[in-house]
Amino acid sequence: MVPPRFVRRLVFTPLLFLLTLLVVALFPVTYVVTSLAGRERKRALRLLWFTLVWGTRESAAVLECGWLWLRGRTHDEQHYDVIRRYVAALYATAQRRLGLRVEVDGSGDGSGPGRPLIILSRHAGPGDALLLVHHLLTDYGRRPRVVMKAQLQLDPCVDIAANRMPNVFVTPGGGATGDIGRLARDLGPRDALLIFPEGGNFSPERRRRAIRRLARLRRRHEAARAAAMRNLMPPRPGGVLAALDSAPSADVVFVAHCGLDHMATPGDIWRRVPLTGVVRARWWRIAAADVPGDRDARVRWLYGQWERADAWISANRAPAPK
């Protein structure tokens, strides 16, 4: 359960400022001690720098939101600028300190003025949503609308800024298709609705549970197609169908990526830093006129695109690190 808004604002926002002040105050001493540590010192220093930037940039973003509130501009488009600067700083620091390298094939499929977009992306690894939002805001000049987990509102910046912009927070089993449909209804030419059809971060166990669920629902054909995909969980069509119904003029962009797959736990992140491989992504765009019209055809089409993503990931992902 996510606490009510007033509780989140009274507890987690001051906690963010307190922890950031502690990190800033203790950073010199921690830096020296870490520098004298054993063979893991370089890895620890990289993560220490990233933590410092994360805390200070998020605190700055929350203060910027507070300034906009004082000026009575709680739903102003400047909130997109706040998020753009915040995410761009994290992205740049991840490049410098963590070794992040990203290669996007078909990147132009996320740009181009004049048409709204519905973006359907794989969800796997830490920070893939931030990478997508960064590219949409900074590289493509888009205003992202994101369907995200309600628990992300425990993060003060997400809680304050995202709740002032058109986004949807969903809970497991919460039936958010109506909210997603309303979010897509007034998509403009600069807007992009970002959905993760798998419903959560990929893991082998979640994939197995999703396939068993399809079998229990007697959706055997979908279960068989899902079982043949090794890198993805089966897409949940409800939110996608609601978005397509509400925004029939929107083009659809699919995003497959690999390179963050093996970083599911804090221990995985610790072992993989600095990142030695490249995070690769493939974008492809389908014109609104080429999207099937009826529900069953759309579900089959969605699975077909997901199979295309699965094949691309199999061809481009690096072997699992030992």
Please report the pLDDT score of residue 213 as a whole number. 95
Please report the pLDDT score of residue 107 as a whole number. 60
SS3 sequence, the chain?
CCCCHHHHHHHHHHHHHHHHHHHHHHHHHHHHHHHCCCCCHHHHHHHHHHHHHHHHHHHHHHHHHHHHHHCCCCCCCHHHHHHHHHHHHHHHHHHHHHCCCEEEECHHHHCCCCCCEEEEECCCCCCHHHHHHHHHHHHCCCEEEEEEEHHHHHCHHHHHHHHCCCCEEECCCCCCHHHHHHHHHCCCCCEEEEECCCCCCCCHHHHHHHHHHHHHCCCHHHHHHHHHCCCCCCCCHHHHHHHHHHCCCCEEEEEEEECCCCCCCHHHHHHHCCCCCCEEEEEEEECHHHCCCCHHHHHHHHHHHHHHHHHHHHHHCCCCCC
Quick one: pLDDT band at residue 174, thresholds 50, 70, 90?
low
Please report the pLDDT score of residue 103 as a whole number. 93
**Which tens digit of pLDDT belongs to each residue from 177-212?**
999 999 999 999 999 999 999 988 899 999 999 999
Q: Which residues of 251-281 are buried (b: 16+ CB within 10 A; e: fewer)?
A: bbbbbbbbbbbbbbeeebbeebbebeeebbb
Model confidence at 219: pLDDT above 90? yes
d(CA 224, CA 235): 13
Model confidence at 321: pLDDT above 80? no
Amino acid at 319: P
Please report the pLDDT score of residue 120 as a whole number. 98
Highest mean pLDDT among 68-77, 166-175, 181-190: 181-190
Average pLDDT (290-319) is 94
Q: Greater confidence, 125 or 12?
A: 12
Please report the pLDDT score of residue 319 as a whole number. 66
d(CA 318, CA 58): 32
Please report the pLDDT score of residue 104 as a whole number. 92
**Which tens digit of pLDDT belongs to each residue from 111-165?**
655 789 999 999 998 889 999 999 999 999 999 999 999 999 999 999 999 999 9
Quick one: pLDDT band at residue 110, thresholds 50, 70, 90?
low
Q: Single out the residue of 236, 263, 254 nearest to residue 317, CA to CA.
A: 263
Range with lowest mean pLDDT among 36-45, 203-212, 242-251:
36-45
Count Cβ atoms below 10 Å from residue 23 Cβ, excluding itself: 18
**Which tokens sit at 67?**
């300034």
Quick one: pLDDT band at residue 90, thresholds 50, 70, 90?
very high
Tell me whether strands 251-258 and 279-286 are parallel, antiparallel or unpaired.
Answer: antiparallel
314 has which bridge partners? none
pTM: 0.93
Range with lowest mean pLDDT among 5-9, 170-174, 220-224, 236-240:
170-174
Model confidence at 320: pLDDT above 90? no
Q: Single out the residue of 151, 207, 165, 154 nearest to residue 80, CA to CA.
A: 165
Phi, psi (degrees; rounded to nearest 5) at 74: -75, -15
